[in-house]
Structure 1
Amino acid sequence: MISIDDVKHIAKLAKLRFTDEEAERMAKDFEGILEHFKSIDKFDLSAVDLNKYEDGLKSVIREDEVRVYENKEKLFKNAKTMRETYIEVPKIIE
């Protein structure tokens, strides 16, 4: 059973905030998702060949191209803070 405290803990880790009503709704939604996974776990997949679609597949890799973007002002217009030519981002590790 997912409790409201579990939802609030997960929200804190994700840097989200929920009201008690929203946390209660999320707990019910999480329970529904977990129940769905429990029903999927009941399927017998022992006869499924995991390598069936492996033959003939190959990775598609594009070549890297170095391009100079001339309009730096337009390029960085959405950056909140800049230091020289670097975008500064807030520290996320606590």
Structure 2
Amino acid sequence: MSVTRKDVDYIAELARLSFTDEEASRMTDELNSILHYVEKLGELDTEGVLPLSNIHDQKNVLRDDVERPSISNAEALQNAPDRQDRFFKVPKVIG
């Protein structure tokens, strides 16, 4: 499998990127180099090798979830620039 200039132009359009001719040519070469390397990795004999998600044999070390006292709703809203009932009021950010 190889990447063509047409592929790079298409991917750039999807990503809303613009490349000069020189950049697109370099990107084509670099992507082909990456694919060639991945194909080489596919030639390795991995029979009997277990899948690995982490090189360390470490488990998540998390503290116990302990309920603790917290500030009241009124205290949380005390310095709020704007509020509505028991909630912080913020400007609309999604159309």
TM-score (norm 2): 0.57
Instruction: Using the TM superposition, give the Cα deviation of residue 60 of structure 1 relative to its aligned residue in structure 2, in angstroms.
Output: 5.2
Q: Does 1:85 align with 2:91?
A: yes
- Deviations 1:12-67, CA, capped at 9 Å, x for gaps: 1111111111111100000100010011001111211237x7x8734859x7xxxx
Structure 1: runs of 5+ lacking an equivalent? 73-83, 90-94
State the match for 2:42 in structure 1.
41
> Given residue 14 of structure 2, which amino acid in structure 1 is its aligned partner?
L
| Count of matched residue positions in the alignment of Structure 1 and Structure 2 | 74
- Paired amino acid for 1:38: E
Partner of 1:3: 4
Q: TM-score w.r.t. structure 1 length?
A: 0.57
Structure 2 unaligned segments of length 5 or more: list them: 66-75, 82-89
Aligned-partner SS, 2:7: helix
Cα RMSD for the two superposed structures: 3.6
